[in-house]
Every structure is written in C-alpha cells, then in structure tokens.
A and B are shown apart, each in its own frame.
Chain A
Amino acid sequence: MKDGKLAAIPRTTPVQSATFTNSVNAEIRRAAATGIYDIRGGGAKRRVPHFEDLLFLGASISRYPLEGYRERCDTRVTLGTRFAKKPIELDIPVTIAGMSFGALSGPAKEALGRGASMAGTSTTTGDGGMTEEERGHSTKLVYQYLPSRYGMNPDDLRRCDAIEVVVGQGAKPGGGGMLLGQKISDRVAEMRNLPKGIDQRSACRHPDWTGPDDLEIKILELREITAWEKPIYIKIGGARPYFDTTLAVKAGADVVVLDGMQGGTAATQDVFIEHVGQPILACIREAVRALQDLGMHREVQLIVSGGIRNGADVAKAMALGADAVAIGTAALIALGDNDPKWESEYQKLGTTTGAYDDWHEGQDPAGITTQDPELMARFDPIEGGRRLNNYLKVMTLEAQTIARACGHNHLHNLEPEDLVALTMEAAAMAKVPLAGTDWYPGKPGF
C-alpha cells in the first residue's frame, strides 16, 4: 500500500479521559516526584451546589414589593441574645470570618478591622491571638478560642466583644492546622510561644475538653471569667449540621457559626479540602431545623459562611434561615488578593491570577498573607480598609434590593418561600421547590 493511501484512512481521534484528566495526571506526577501531598488554601474548587443554583421569585400579585429608594429595608442584626449581658449589635449582617495573625500580616488585620468598623460589622481573630492592629481598629472584635490556644489570655478575653469557640471549620472539619516555618517571624513566634522558623502545628481538638458535656462546662468557665458579658459563639464545620447544631445549643452557645466546605482561607491538604465536609447549601436548612426543633431559631443566632460572594448570596443564606453571614476569601479579594496587577508575579510562582492559593507559603505578591516585610510594604491598610468597606456596602445594598423586590422590610424577613431551585440537587439541599414545580426531593407527602 502506498503512503498516500495509508494517510487517507480515518484515524481515531485522541480522547482525554474524563477520569484521568490532565490536572489529575499532573497531580499524580507531582505526588510521584515529591512524596508529599499538596497543601493549599482557597477552599473547595470543585463545582458543588451553591447559591447560584437558587433564584428569588420576586413580588407578584400575591405579594407587593417595596420601593427601592423610598421604603426602608433594615439590615441590623443582634447576636448573642440568649445568655450574654452584652449582645453584639451590627449594622449589617455580613461579618468578617476568623483569619489568624501569622497567616495574615498585621496591616492586613488592621485593614479588616478598618473596613468592618466603617461598615458597622465585626471582625474575628484567628489562630494566633489578638493583635493591637486588629483590636485597635475593630469596633466589634470576636476572639477565637482555638485548640492551639496560641496567644490565649484572660485580658484579651475580657477586651473582646464576643468569644468564638472553634470546634471545626469548613475547609477541614476534623482537621488541625500548620503554619509553615517561613511565616514564623519574631513577632509571630513570640505570640505563639514557639521558636522562630519551625512549623507550628495546631491541634485538631481542644486540649481540655472532649465532648459536648465538657464543652458546656468550658463555656461556663469562659462566662465566669468574663462575667457573663460576652456572647459565646461555637463554630462548626459543615459535617453533621443537625447534630452539631443541636449539641452546640445544648452546650450553651449564644450563636452557632456554620462553615461549609467552600470556606477557603485555611490551608490544609487538597484532598481534605475537596473530599471532607459538605457545601454550605447542604448545611443551612439542617442547622435551622435543629434550632427549630429546639425552639431556638432566632434565639440562638446562626451565622453561615463558605463561599459567600455577593448580596444575592447573603440574601439567599438569610432566606434559608441564617441570621448573618461571614466572609473570608471574599474579604481578602476585596483587600487586593489575587489582583490581576500582580499577574507577572503569580506566574513566577507557577500560578495565575484567581488561582493563587498558596497563602500559607508567605510569598503573597499582594502582601496580605505574608510576614515578609518587603511584601507587606506593598499593602496599604487604609486603602484596604476603604475597599473592604465599599465591598461590604455593595453586598448590603444588593441584599436590600432583593429583599425589597420580595416585599420585605428587613433582611431577616426573607424566607424559603421566596426561593426556587434550578437543579434537583439544590432543591434537595435547600428544601425549596425545583423551579416550575411545587416539589423538592424528600418533600413530605410526595
């Protein structure tokens, strides 16, 4: 057979495997070359059912809308009304989630405090203790009580505005943490009482209590130390939201903070981020059901987090029963993280704008998640605070716009009946009807 005839025979088109994709294969090669699992931040990157799978119905003949520029739509929220003598009053229901000094620079913490305070909301410490930058610039500061107890002391407990006992977080329910040695500056080392330059491990469970009965006593101790003034939050990852919320309430929580698997600022193994925990959409209604079964919905407030990006997400979370939301990744982006102006530097790090997630390595071109003085100098905390305030304002305005369109004069009046789902999965998780039907999977009576 001549060569020309051979070339004319149709060839099988090369087909990429849907199972062994290029990115899967690249990870196999990386693992084979290094022997180490991949650690990153950024939360779950896989597509999971989320708030964009829900739609608001808006007003109709059965409901009439509020006029956007004339009729008030309140956004205030009070957190900690169950036991605390001094509940937290916030102007908006969007709070800043816990992120540690150490993981973040001091100026970044300052910017979070500035922006949150301008917007009338709270910010939260993290695994590393309370810094003056953060306390000084945060009108309302939530102090995290973590397994590592880095920086924990009774004076800071008394000068915070609320205490958040961290049991788990969405990126790694059941997991601890590690701050790599390259981020352990003199100051971070001193605050954590550990040598400079070593990897600092954070335990996955608390050192002095092991279950809900113990937790109840631990909360009693914290309340006694702080004269019952501070609201006590309990933060849980999106693992078993019904039972965890029930137990948190039983243990005495004023507020439950529920973090879904999209929660992104915590660094851990990629396999942990992508394969442990549930999307926040799957968690909210179960947590609300637990509160309702206990007669505690709205008496114990619910804050949800994990992938909140805009006012629509805020409104949807609240329609599903949350009292407020918390943002972490979105706040960092508002400060300037993953900004295209640093693209050439992201490329030097082997990544690109929007995909940079190695915040734990301390080489952040934006100067936010680093302790390197030269990189930190790139970040202006005043400008960062202004940007965060702007972003929080926009989120609030967007949520108000939606609430008014649904006929509500307070964001808290949004309800599941305002929503439909675009997919079967979202309908099942959010327990709202699939669009065009009056049904969702698992609905009683069907």
Chain B
Amino acid sequence: MQTINLEADGLRSMNAALQGQSTDTNQTSWEIVNPKGSHAIAVGLDAPIEVTVKGSTGYYCAGMNKQATVHINGSAGPGVAENMMSGTVIVDGDASQYAGATGRGGLLVIKGNASSRCGISMKGIDIVVHGNIGHMSAFMAQSGNLVVCGDAGDALGDSIYEARLFVRGSVKSLGADCIEKEMRPEHIEILRDLLEKAGCDAKPEEFKRYGSARQLYNFKIDNAGAY
C-alpha cells in the first residue's frame, strides 16, 4: 500500500504519482489521506490500480478515469467521474451535481444520493445510485445505463437519446421525449448484473425502465412546443 498525504504532498505530486503508473505496475494499491475536499483528485488515471480516498472530495474526483478503481470513503463534489472511460468509481456517501457527466464507460456507484444532473450527457457509462437522484438527471443521455434504487426528481431523461434508465421508486416527472418502456428479459439481465456489481440487494423486477420515445431525433416544427 502506497500512502499519499495530499495536504503535505500537494495535488500535482499526487496526480503525477498516480498517472505515472503503467499498466503492469506492481504498485497497485494506493491510499490518499487528508483530501479535505480538494478538487481534481485522482484525475486522468490510466492503470489498473486501486485508489482509496480517505475522506470527502471536491470537484471532478476521478475525472476521465481509465482502468483504475477509485473508492471515495466520503462524499464527492460536483462532476465525480466525469467523462470516465473505464474502471470503477465508488462513492460511499452522497454525490453532488453532474455525477458521471459525459462518461463513456466503466461503472460509477454512489451509495448515498446523487444531486441534480446525474448522468448528464452520458455516453456509455453505467451509473448505479443506491439512493435518490435530483432533477434533470440523464439530460441528453446518449448511451449506457443509469440505475436508481430510490426516487428520481423532475425532468428525468429530458431530450434523451439511447441511454437506459431504471428507477425503483417514484419519478417526479419525465423530461421531453422520455417515456416509460417495457422491461424485457434482456433488461432484467442487464439490471441484475449492474446491481450485483454495485453491491445492491434490490431486485430487478422492482424497477421500471425509461428511455427515448425517439420523437425528437429529427427536427420537426411540430415538436417545437416540447422545449
């Protein structure tokens, strides 16, 4: 286990050490202490290492992550795992706005609640939220899966493309062009796999699926009122 004291060593030194690990590194286990809500912790990683952050983080923790597993023993500020390419990010507490924004791959697990715009413009990432999510989540979501074990706020999936949204609780309202869809066996399997990976004991059958009605895919003047 390699330990970095963020307060003492500084952000650049910490990120340089983590970014400097190669795919075949032997130093696979890292611990960041004294994060104290700092921004841009463990960003741009590209190696199969495990990084545990001992505390809460500021903006963009694990941004653009590839391969690495980043575990936050606290809550995460805005944009956690933004544009993640692959790997896993786990937040033990709550996540602020834009969690997993534009993520392209990998798995983001939020064990608490996620604020507004969770999964905004997601492009392939899988996000599992054990609690609730805020308004405008999955706005313009392109692909990937967003699983919400609690409730969803207003305007879920507004202007959604091909992402799949699974919600176990209530949905306050759906956004433009987002509709409830049939839960087919393949969706149950996708959901079962994601819940298992996220350490969630909810049953797939308890969820409803939402996705695009595909009515806004090509501009039509008659749709102008939908915005």
In the bound complex, CA of A36 to CA of B40 (Å): 44
In the complex, whether B218 has a CB less than 8 A from a CB of chain A is: yes
In the bound complex, CA of A149 to CA of B121 (Å): 9
In the bound complex, CA of A217 to CA of B40 (Å): 8
- Which partner residue on chain A sits nearest B77 by CB separation? A217
| Contact indicator B79/A208 (Cβ below 8 Å) | yes
Residue total for B at the interface (Cβ-Cβ under 8 A): 42
| Contact indicator B59/A214 (Cβ below 8 Å) | yes
Query: In the complex, which of the residues B40, B64, B120 contacts A153, with contact meaning CB atoms closer than 8 Å?
Result: B64
In the bound complex, CA of A312 to CA of B11 (Å): 46
Question: Which residues from chain B contact A207 at a C-beta distance below 8 Å?
Answer: 98, 101-102, 117, 120-121, 139-140
| Contact indicator A153/B85 (Cβ below 8 Å) | yes
In the complex, whether B63 has a CB less than 8 A from a CB of chain A is: yes
Closest CB of chain B to A295's CB: distance in Å? 25
Query: In the complex, which of the residues B39, B46, B143 contacts A221, with contact meaning CB atoms closer than 8 Å?
Result: B39
Query: In the complex, which of the residues A153, A198, A218, A227 contacts B104, with contact meaning CB atoms closer than 8 Å?
Result: A153
Closest CB of chain B to A197's CB: distance in Å? 8
Question: Which residues from chain B contact A442 at a C-beta distance below 8 Å?
Answer: none
B154-173 toward A: CB 8 Å interface, digit per residue (1/0)?
00000101100000000000
In the bound complex, CA of A56 to CA of B123 (Å): 52
| Contact indicator B16/A195 (Cβ below 8 Å) | no
| Contact indicator B19/A227 (Cβ below 8 Å) | yes
A165-207 toward B: CB 8 Å interface, digit per residue (1/0)?
0000000000000101100000000000111011101010001
A132-150 toward B: CB 8 Å interface, digit per residue (1/0)?
0000000000000000110
Question: Which residues from chain B contact A181 at a C-beta distance below 8 Å?
Answer: 217-218
B17-40 toward A: CB 8 Å interface, digit per residue (1/0)?
001000000000000000000011
In the bound complex, CA of A149 to CA of B162 (Å): 16
- Which partner residue on chain B sits nearest A228 by CB separation? B12
Query: In the complex, which of the residues A178, A214, A226, A228 contacts B78, with contact meaning CB atoms closer than 8 Å?
Result: A214
Known pairs A214-B59, A225-B64; A152 contacts B39 (CB<8 A): no
Known pairs A193-B143, A201-B159, A208-B98; A221 contacts B121 (CB<8 A): no
- Which partner residue on chain B sits nearest A223 by CB separation? B40
In the bound complex, CA of A34 to CA of B219 (Å): 13
Closest CB of chain B to A144's CB: distance in Å? 14
Name A's B-contacting residues (CB within 8 A).
34-36, 148-149, 152-154, 157, 178, 180-181, 193-195, 197-199, 201, 203, 207-209, 214, 217-218, 220-221, 224-228
Can you list 6 contacts pairing A with B, beta carbon distance less than 8 Å? Answer: A149-B102, A198-B161, A198-B217, A199-B219, A203-B121, A221-B63
**Known pairs A35-B221, A208-B101 / 15 extra A-B pairs, C-beta < 8 Å:** A157-B44, A180-B219, A193-B124, A195-B162, A207-B140, A208-B82, A209-B78, A217-B58, A218-B60, A220-B40, A221-B40, A221-B59, A225-B44, A227-B16, A227-B19
